[in-house]
Amino acid sequence: MRALIFLAGCLLSASVWAQSTPQASAAQERLKALGADPVALRAAIDAGKKATFFCANCHGEDGISKTPDVPNLAGQNPAYLLEQIRKFSVGERKDPFMQGLIKVLKDEERIQVAHYYASVKVPPSVADNSLVPHGKELFTKLCVRCHGEQARGNELFPRLAGQKVPYLKTSITRYRDMTGVRNNQLMSIATAPLKNEDITAIANYLTQMR
């Protein structure tokens, strides 16, 4: 029953995302148009790299974080990234620092940034291999419907593969405990049965994935 509720929630999220504002829809269409033109895409990626110079302090060069509690942006789906940029810009996602930085980006730069980070490959991180099998079992049971078998995400859900263990543990725990820092009904349902050791196992499974 829980699985059916969760799957229905995934489908509902897709429906809500599809009903985005006209401005957001136009930006997504522009993103797709650039992605379909190899020459334009290459130019967008190059421009996006230049536009992300101020992101490197937290998210690392090429979007691969050097700070344990800050996520990688590299390898994310460009449509997902662009939507998160929009959410920060309008206050749907709350972070004063991120909101301030994103406001300086023009619409075209946001699209270029999304394509740039999406183009970067994410190296796997070192995991505790003794925890990986249990983490894989839990991920397959609870997470694969939305995040995909390879945990690479899609237009609606983030890539988790290759993220750092501390970031994953903190994020999953916040969803489970409903602290107010992370608010998402689907994630609360999925993570509710997890013990701390389960979360650690999932994090170790995900961090070693490509």
pLDDT tens profile 124-153: 899 999 999 999 999 999 999 999 999 999
Task: Please determine, for residue 19, whether its predicted confidence score (pLDDT) is greater than 80.
Answer: no
Matching CATH number, 21-119, of 1.10.760.10, 3.40.50.620, 1.20.1290.10, 3.30.56.10 = 1.10.760.10
**Three-class DSSP labels, the chain:** CHHHHHHHHHHHHHHHHHCCCHHHHHHHHHHHHHHCCHHHHHHHHHHHHHHCCCCHHHHCHHHCCCCCCCCCCCCCCHHHHHHHHHHHHHCCCCCHHHHHHHCCCCHHHHHHHHHHHHHCCCCCCCCCCCCHHHHHHHHHHHCHHHHCCCCCCCCCCCCCCCCCHHHHHHHHHHHHHCCCCCCCHHHHHHHCCCCHHHHHHHHHHHHCCC
Task: Please determine, for residue 120, whether its predicted confidence score (pLDDT) is greater than 90.
Answer: yes
pLDDT of residue 165: 96
The fold of 132-207 is Cytochrome Bc1 Complex; Chain D, domain 2 (1.10.760)
- pTM (2 d.p.): 0.85
